[in-house]
Structure 1
Amino acid sequence: MSTTVTAKGQVTIPKAVRELLGIGPGSRIDFRRAADGNVVVVPIDEDRQHSRFAKFRGHAGKGMSTDEILALTRGDD
């Protein structure tokens, strides 16, 4: 498949490619350079975390209170 670049540097992504990538109006995409030098189009998952460490962040749920943790670290019985 091929497409033509406009004077503004815009291209129309062929319908088959849009369907394959699951992108539509308003979708955000990223251009990445592969190790072999090719440039690939990757849809940006808006739900994904931006930091590679973001998946480790969050709330573990109800746990020990601060006082309980301090008592444990001090060896209080």
Structure 2
Amino acid sequence: MRTFKVAAEGQVTLTAELLEHLGVQPGDRLVANTLPNGSIELRAAPKGKISDTFGLLHAKRKGPPLSIEEMNEIIDAAWAGER
């Protein structure tokens, strides 16, 4: 466990080791989630824009779109380790 000192401005400096573990570099963003037990979860913010993913799956699949029922069957099989 590491301890950090809070500066007068309310800032905390993370070590290079922690930043490397999170996979972040100068200029990247972090996301902090407050948890009910008083803890904070800190992780790297997603990079890129949501619009970068539009059409991503469309190009990988040939044929008509799957129905909700077909998607649910595939998901169930994956959770069961069959896929």
With the shorter chain as reference, the TM-score category is 0.5 to 0.7
Q: TM-score, normalising length from structure 1? A: 0.55
**2:18: which partner in 1?**
17
Could you tell me which runs of 5 or more consecutive residues in structure 2 were left unpaired when the two chains were aligned: 60-83
SS of the aligned residue for 1:13 comes to: coil
Q: CA deviation at 1:2?
A: 1.6
Instruction: Confirm whether residue 8 of structure 1 aligns to residue 29 of structure 2.
Output: no
- Matched length: 57
Distance (whole Å) between structure 2 residues aligned to residue 36 and residue 29 of structure 1: 21
Q: Cα deviations across residues 4-58 of structure 1 (Å, max 9, x unaligned)?
A: 11111111111211010011211101111235442111111122529xxxx6x54
SS of the aligned residue for 1:17 comes to: helix
Q: Percent identity?
A: 25
Q: TM-score, normalising length from structure 2? A: 0.52
Question: Would you say the 8 A contact 1:33–1:40 is kept in 2?
Answer: yes
Distance (whole Å) between structure 2 residues aligned to residue 19 and residue 31 of structure 1: 17
Could you tell me which runs of 5 or more consecutive residues in structure 1 were left unpaired when the two chains were aligned: 62-77
SS of the aligned residue for 1:18 comes to: helix
Distance (whole Å) between structure 2 residues aligned to residue 48 and residue 35 of structure 1: 30
